[in-house]
Structure 1
């Protein structure tokens, strides 16, 4: 039986809205995603029980097997997640985590410095958002715990320095993917006078959400603007609970492993530096191999465009894990203890694995419902050209929020935005394309079914829905500032005017929050 088409139907948004709404209301992510999946497949199957069961089975199988081979990207991603769990467990057992916390205590003066460290790590480890979320979270967590910073604040710092940095960095997996889409658009429209790299560079200052999200994060850290759910989380952390213990153990949390004596900072820094070096090197290697197969010469951007990021990360992680285990044996750590730590590391990541599997499944269902295409179709090529950047931003945000994928949103919306801009006013091409990227990142930031949001909470060992709830107010503020900038940009045609309005709006918001009771420095003590 053929599946029902919802290509032009508002009903296509029902499953994602139901799943996201239930997740927010019940805070039970797996149950909410499961109900959304069943509802979506039931709609596609025209509510036939036999087809529903068949589709559920096929989609479960499709998570690990597609076509005539394994679903390598899914398996590599899950493999890297579990490898990171094992690696961080081994580093903890080796004494590296404790040694790093002691080292940081002598150099980091207060809570603000601990957050600056997290922001710095998030900004410099920009090669991939998955890699950023898992690595920075595990490195920064011992220090932020020491200074009683909530896991929700840590997750916000990581999430707001991963995608916003990756989306404006050409030397990242995001930059490579976006440039590949831009190259196809340029070829389609015969715009041969500009390259994908130069177009990407022109788009950076027009990505107002990335700019405002990063600027707001810096203000939040510097002025301690902990409001709403984040203020509650910080008060709880100051009382000695970095996460809400009433909700159980969060994914990625240490499971009470013993730590051997004599560990040094090198036990943590060595494996992580090796991991970063191997990831970068293997990505360039895999990209060069692909270029060679196509008969092309090596180029840094071209290699990143063709790199196999998932393979690179899981291979680098496996090598680092083996070398770390051998180093621990040489250190005198019992192989039995190493094995027990590895098992517990995998176990700590299982909740995140379950959520990712469900998120990928509902993403496939939403793709078949063509929810993104329906939302994109809400744009009209007859609208006033001055509203184009703002409208594209809003629709891209809605698509990313509903589908949980910024990559998918970029693929759908960039061609639509290009066609609309070239038809209305070619000078708006760069702002319209940039608004797609900005809206995609904003929607992805807010969506409970976003894989980057899931991994940010996992890397921080924070309850997933607590991360979503505490980050949402800040994301909405940054989006409102970006929207104001896009409206001004559309009317004036000046990116400087749009940036100025966004910056002035940020100054007003920061001023209001600082004056609000509890908005600034609702806690007065510093240190551990």
Structure 2
């Protein structure tokens, strides 16, 4: 007991020392380190309005281009930015180059390797304290001080929480998801579903994991929706079958974004294609060309393929590549029935772990299945109609249907509201963690850690080393920021022109194959970093929906994920060396 207390005290002291060091360095950086400004190009599909004006679509809205200047005269081109000793006055400007191509210029900056400090502080505190709330807050403080924002509440936290994206996350994960889980807990729907599946399909841990894996493949939209949908669906049957929470969170997380990169009939190609235009490259000239390029590159998504195969092997109880933590978790669950490690702090609160069905209310598995079908159907239909799934509509429809079924079967409104409230309480801590993760991601992007890493590359690299270097850099960016899509926005506009320059300067025989491999490394490296990051929304949600301790999930998942990433790196290198 005494030794444990001493260890706990020493870890707290180390965490405090790291925070104070980061705090001091942040102030020093803001006052003493000069910003390095970089030109950022954004390419959009330009069209003519009915009035004959150039316009483009951004966030679903048509925006007219009112003023265009020659690229060479823009104060935001790299030549002018190199001469700056203060922030540029313009935030963005439309320009036209010598080939008559239109693109949007925006300035961005970094502090050199110091730009990685907030991410380093956050991840270090997370690993030491195993407490993500304080770790994320520490990273936010350090990042805000680097930017000179000393008013954390009014200048940093409130503006970020007031954004449309943050409000959408709160609506979805606190109100809709929390309310749905609470009603399912109150009606006993999840337990009834688990009992039905156990009686008819699930005969033990292996079949429970196989069903979980299959559902992860089935919902191949990727990202938070797949994570939440699969996690909430499979947890009751997996808990009943005594599958450890570390195994379940790994299966859920590793069949979310990885499968979306392989079965890419989702929103990913439409988003990514806007980031990979390279002037003069014929197979990336138009939007349809770039989407076709995305799908042609899918066979090179080695990490996504291997990650999904790794979870299949685990589902079949083949743990050769799973790492000792997952093997230990599996052994613990089988021998003791304990689904969590000792001293674990699951993100899912006790309100969602117990079932308090009102006296006289009879649960039925269809109370779980029908809302789930409604959720999936709404997401699919809105994806077909609007080209993007309306996730809030999907979860809102499932929530309303669950409530109406409960009321129709005789549950009192008071009991229903009580279940809804318990659901909100059950996810409030995870929702706060999610909000802080969004804020630290925004700050990390503004400080420019990703820009710094990518800017270190040069065109004189041996061509066969570039794919792995791009993979490593995007892994670090995504791990540091907790977002794969944010990493795409940073890395693709820099990596694709660089890959083409290497093709041209070194005279590669098959440049399109080389570009496909480099594209796949950025796509997959970002997925790996996002998947393994303790500040990623999908990592947090995988832990929350499966009831796992966040850091237990991170530490157990990183071994099989890294094995898949290392194998993918070898395959990418072999492809470009022998075929490009």
The verdict on a shared fold, with TM-score over 0.5 as the criterion, is: yes
Q: 2:144, 2:156 within 8 Å by CA — same for their partners in 1?
A: no
Q: 2:475, 2:528 within 8 Å by CA — same for their partners in 1?
A: yes
Q: CA deviation at 1:129?
A: 1.9
Distance 1:317 1:476 in 2: 33
Note closer, same or farther for the CA distance 1:447–1:330 as it changes in structure 2 (3 Å cut): same
Distance 1:123 1:255 in 2: 26
Q: CA deviation at 1:150?
A: 0.9
Q: CA deviation at 1:40?
A: 1.6
Give the root-mean-square deviation of aligned CA atoms.
Answer: 2.2
Q: CA deviation at 1:470?
A: 0.8
Q: In the TM superposition, what are the counterparts of 1:363-374 in structure 2 within 5 Å?
A: 363-374=441-452
Q: 1:41, 1:56 within 8 Å by CA — same for their partners in 2?
A: no
Q: CA deviation at 1:95?
A: 2.9
Match in the other structure for 1:335: 413
Counterpart of 1:44 (choices 147, 163, 181) is 147
Q: In the TM superposition, what are the counterparts of 1:211-222 in structure 2 within 5 Å?
A: 211-222=305-316
Pair 1:265 & 2:365 matched: yes
Counterpart of 1:17 (choices 114, 117, 120) is 120
Residues 77-102 of structure 1: CA distance to partner in whole angstroms, max 9, x if unpaired? 22111211211221232232222122
Q: 1:404, 1:443 within 8 Å by CA — same for their partners in 2?
A: yes
Counterpart of 1:93 (choices 171, 179, 186) is 186
Match in the other structure for 2:229: 135
Match in the other structure for 2:5: none
Q: 2:323, 2:560 within 8 Å by CA — same for their partners in 1?
A: no
Q: CA deviation at 1:72?
A: 2.0
Counterpart of 1:395 (choices 473, 484, 494) is 473
Note closer, same or farther for the CA distance 1:321–1:221 as it changes in structure 2 (3 Å cut): closer
Q: CA deviation at 1:234?
A: 2.4
2:262 aligned counterpart, secondary structure: coil
Q: In the TM superposition, what are the counterparts of 1:47-196 in structure 2 within 5 Å?
A: 51-53=149-151, 55-65=152-162, 71-82=163-174, 83-106=176-199, 107-182=201-276, 185=277, 189=281, 191-192=284-285, 195-196=289-290
Match in the other structure for 2:83: none
Note closer, same or farther for the CA distance 1:252–1:168 as it changes in structure 2 (3 Å cut): farther
Pair 1:322 & 2:408 matched: no
Q: 2:262, 2:305 within 8 Å by CA — same for their partners in 1?
A: no
Q: CA deviation at 1:249?
A: 4.7
Q: CA deviation at 1:192?
A: 3.4
Distance 1:256 1:109 in 2: 23
Note closer, same or farther for the CA distance 1:125–1:12 as it changes in structure 2 (3 Å cut): same
Residues 202-225 of structure 1: CA distance to partner in whole angstroms, max 9, x if unpaired? 110111110111122222222431
Residues 402-450 of structure 1: CA distance to partner in whole angstroms, max 9, x if unpaired? 1111111111211222112211223311111111001101111221111
Match in the other structure for 1:251: 348
Match in the other structure for 1:242: 339
Match in the other structure for 1:5: 35
Counterpart of 2:382 (choices 274, 279, 282) is 282
Note closer, same or farther for the CA distance 1:227–1:192 as it changes in structure 2 (3 Å cut): closer
Counterpart of 1:232 (choices 309, 322, 328) is 328
Counterpart of 1:437 (choices 523, 539, 560) is 523
Q: In the TM superposition, what are the counterparts of 1:483-498 in structure 2 within 5 Å?
A: 483-493=569-579
Q: 2:349, 2:426 within 8 Å by CA — same for their partners in 1?
A: yes
Q: CA deviation at 1:186?
A: 5.5
**Number of residues paired by the alignment?**
459
Note closer, same or farther for the CA distance 1:164–1:248 as it changes in structure 2 (3 Å cut): closer
Q: 1:152, 1:467 within 8 Å by CA — same for their partners in 2?
A: yes
Q: 2:222, 2:259 within 8 Å by CA — same for their partners in 1?
A: no
> Structure 1: any 5+ residue segments left out of the alignment?
46-50, 66-70, 288-303, 495-528
1:136 aligned counterpart, secondary structure: helix
Q: Which has the higher contact order (CA 8 A, sep 6+)?
A: 1
1:256 aligned counterpart, secondary structure: coil
Residues 42-89 of structure 1: CA distance to partner in whole angstroms, max 9, x if unpaired? 1222xxxxx412x55222111232xxxxx2222112211121121122
Residues 479-520 of structure 1: CA distance to partner in whole angstroms, max 9, x if unpaired? 1101111121221127xxxxxxxxxxxxxxxxxxxxxxxxxx
Distance 1:92 1:223 in 2: 30
Which deviates further from its counterpart, 142-151 or 162-171? 162-171
Counterpart of 2:460 (choices 382, 397, 400) is 382
2:255 aligned counterpart, secondary structure: coil
Counterpart of 2:498 (choices 415, 420, 440) is 420
Match in the other structure for 1:473: 559
Distance 1:341 1:409 in 2: 38
Q: CA deviation at 1:188?
A: 7.3
Q: 1:96, 1:265 within 8 Å by CA — same for their partners in 2?
A: yes
Residues 288-337 of structure 1: CA distance to partner in whole angstroms, max 9, x if unpaired? xxxxxxxxxxxxxxxx2xx3x5xx21223223212221211111112111
Match in the other structure for 1:34: 137
Residues 319-364 of structure 1: CA distance to partner in whole angstroms, max 9, x if unpaired? 3212221211111112111111000101111111111111111112
Note closer, same or farther for the CA distance 1:255–1:116 as it changes in structure 2 (3 Å cut): closer
Match in the other structure for 1:298: none
2:534 aligned counterpart, secondary structure: coil
1:195 aligned counterpart, secondary structure: helix
Match in the other structure for 2:549: 463
Distance 1:403 1:79 in 2: 22
Structure showing greater Rg = 2
> Structure 2: any 5+ residue segments left out of the alignment?
1-29, 37-109, 504-510
Match in the other structure for 1:452: 538
Residues 262-287 of structure 1: CA distance to partner in whole angstroms, max 9, x if unpaired? 322211100010111112223444x2
Q: 2:222, 2:258 within 8 Å by CA — same for their partners in 1?
A: no
